Structure 1
Amino acid sequence: MSKIILKARAKVNLSLDVTGIREDGYHEMRMINHSIELADVLTFYPREQGIVLTSNEHTIPLDERNLVIKVALKLQNQFTIKRGAKIHLEKRIPAQAGLAGGSSDAAAALKGLNTLWQLGLSQSELLKIAVTIGADVPYCLVGGTALVEGIGEKITPIGDLRKMTILVVKPDIDIATPWAFKKLDNSIIKKHPDISALMALLKQDAYHELNEVVGNVFEAVAFADYPEIAAIKKEMLATGALASIMTGSGSTVIGYYADWELAVKMWQQFKEIYPLCFLSKTEESGGENYVE
């Protein structure tokens, strides 16, 4: 095997709720996640020993601070792997944008190294390792559209979303997840998203009602400190988006469009203000990677 190439799909929250805090300090979550076509690309090459990570993006760490390296070292230690690997990470998913780029890369690393090193681990075995790496990593292993609960370890796949165009806008605001959780813990949240209502709507294919039920509990704290994020969402809805939501802990805002031409028009408008602005599409489950 000369190389393995995997796509690591970006993740979007169609709805996100925080339902409590466990005794160990971890937050209990309930959310609907889905994959989009935007993806990083990881290429794995066999190496006699040592782990080497390279990337086209000079701003990301290439040592143990990177989840890809963390995954490789964990697998080596857990299964006494003497062989190494060279991994090249082609970054396309923006960092600190609520799109789970790092977690998706980690999930791809679990899959890629499982194949490269011929470990023979099942998906359930990989999921047990994934939950020790990060909260979004188990979902990123599964991909598609899913209800995700607990601390990210409970994943229930649901039917794929209708094919829609997605407008992704990230203002020049970086929100650290620990900051967002701390703000949330110290706030009184008056409205929580109705995840069950959203699941029922999706099952009924009632997409014209989508914006009435989607929600993200982090919007309350993010909008208070960064009204620019709220303004982006408001503009998307005012100009014809089926729904709009801030994904993750922010600051990226997603707009869902049934009309491709309208989505392109809005992308052209937003990109004049926000350079980090692009179009993507909802992604069906099962299309997240390929192997050579």
Structure 2
Amino acid sequence: MATIVLKARAKVNLALDVTGIRADGYHEMKMINHSIDLEDQLIFEPCDDEVLLTSNGQSIPLDERNLVMKVVRKIQSQFNITKGIKIHLEKKIPAQAGLAGGSSDAAATLKGLNQLWGLNLSTAELIEIGVTIGADIPYCLIGGTALVEGIGEKITPLQDLDKMFVLVVKPDIDIATPWAFKKLDELTITKHPDITALIELLNNADYEHLQDVIGNVFENVAFACYPEIATLKKALLSQGALAAVMTGSGSTVVGYYRNYELAKRSWERCSDKYKLCFLTQTCEKEGVDDVE
């Protein structure tokens, strides 16, 4: 089969709640995610027996620490595949930013190998494999706007966000997810995002009240340890964002704008201070229909 090229889109959280801890130590989550038009690109080239991952990214691992390689080894082992694969990963999504760049790359790898190696796996079957590797991978297989529950494996597609301009700003702060969960477990969270109200807002396209119902429990941890993140969120709102929220475990803050010129002015102000600053827009789901 010829070389194939796939996109891996970034994910952001409109809402992120942690509802409990399971007996196996995994956290139960309740999130509303959506895709944005910020993406990595993966190029898959078949070969006889070699497994090789290359990338333009200077700081990402290219061995089994990378989720892309974890997916390759998992598929090879589970389906007794001896064929090789060469994968080039063109990175644009910043790492340790709460944007699920690694998980999105892994999801694209599942799709790519499914196609390249003729596995004929359904999306539901790919999700079963993906959740054993990373909690965000099942969602990244589908994209769009969705309610995500459990440890990431329960996905309910929702009404997609209307087209909005999305400003993504990552301060020079790296937050490791295990550290964030540990800190969160030490806190008593009194305010949680109103996910039921957010779903109703999406159904009614009542975006004027978006800031009232979005939220992220990890802001309690991140803002206390890194006040700059809270300051950034306030700045986006003061610059005209309809809503703003930290995504994932941080440190990236996302602002939503209906007006492009307003979003562009905000981007110009932020890009003077922050190196990782992207003006993008919302994306619809990938057209998957076999999740059940």
Q: Per-residue deviation at 1:287? A: 7.3
1:256 aligned residue:
256
Is 1:286 the counterpart of 2:286? The answer is: yes
Whole-angstrom CA distance in 1 between matches of 2:64 and 2:79: 18
Whole-angstrom CA distance in 2 between matches of 1:211 and 1:217: 15
1:56 aligned residue:
56
1:282 aligns to what SS in structure 2? strand
1:204 aligned residue:
204
What per-residue deviation string (whole Å, max 9, x for no partner) do you get for residues 3-42 of structure 1? 0100000000000000000010000000000000100000
1:220 aligns to what SS in structure 2? helix
Amino acid at match of 2:86: K
2:10 aligned residue:
10
Is 1:185 the counterpart of 2:181? The answer is: no
Unaligned runs of 5+ in 1: none
Structure 1 length-normalised TM:
0.97
Q: CA RMSD in A?
A: 1.0
Evaluate the alpha carbon distance shift between residue 287 and residue 40 of structure 1 in structure 2; reply closer, same or farther with a 3 A threshold. farther
What per-residue deviation string (whole Å, max 9, x for no partner) do you get for residues 97-126 of structure 1? 000000000000000011111111111111
Is 1:130 the counterpart of 2:92? The answer is: no
Whole-angstrom CA distance in 1 between matches of 2:254 and 2:184: 21
Amino acid at match of 1:39: E
Contact 2:13/2:248, CA 8 A, preserved across alignment: yes
What per-residue deviation string (whole Å, max 9, x for no partner) do you get for residues 112-160 of structure 1? 0111111111111111101101000000001111000000000000111
Q: 4+ runs of 1 displaced by more than 4 Å?
A: none
2:31 aligned residue:
31
Query: Residues 64-83 of structure 1 correspond to what in structure 2 (within 5 A)?
Result: 64-83=64-83
Is 1:226 the counterpart of 2:226? The answer is: yes
Q: How many residues align?
A: 288
Whole-angstrom CA distance in 2 between matches of 1:58 and 1:116: 27
Whole-angstrom CA distance in 2 between matches of 1:234 and 1:251: 14
Query: Residues 158-173 of structure 1 correspond to what in structure 2 (within 5 A)?
Result: 158-173=158-173
Amino acid at match of 1:215: G
Contact 2:160/2:202, CA 8 A, preserved across alignment: no
1:286 aligns to what SS in structure 2? coil
Q: Per-residue deviation at 1:240? A: 1.1
Structure 2 length-normalised TM:
0.97
Q: Per-residue deviation at 1:50? A: 2.1
Amino acid at match of 1:217: V
Whole-angstrom CA distance in 2 between matches of 1:11 and 1:27: 19
Amino acid at match of 2:185: D
Q: Per-residue deviation at 1:91? A: 0.3
2:273 aligned residue:
273
Whole-angstrom CA distance in 2 between matches of 1:269 and 1:156: 37
Whole-angstrom CA distance in 2 between matches of 1:120 and 1:188: 46
Unaligned runs of 5+ in 2: none
Percent of pairs with identical residues: 68
Q: Per-residue deviation at 1:286? A: 1.9
Whole-angstrom CA distance in 1 between matches of 2:85 and 2:29: 35
1:140 aligned residue:
140
1:19 aligns to what SS in structure 2? strand
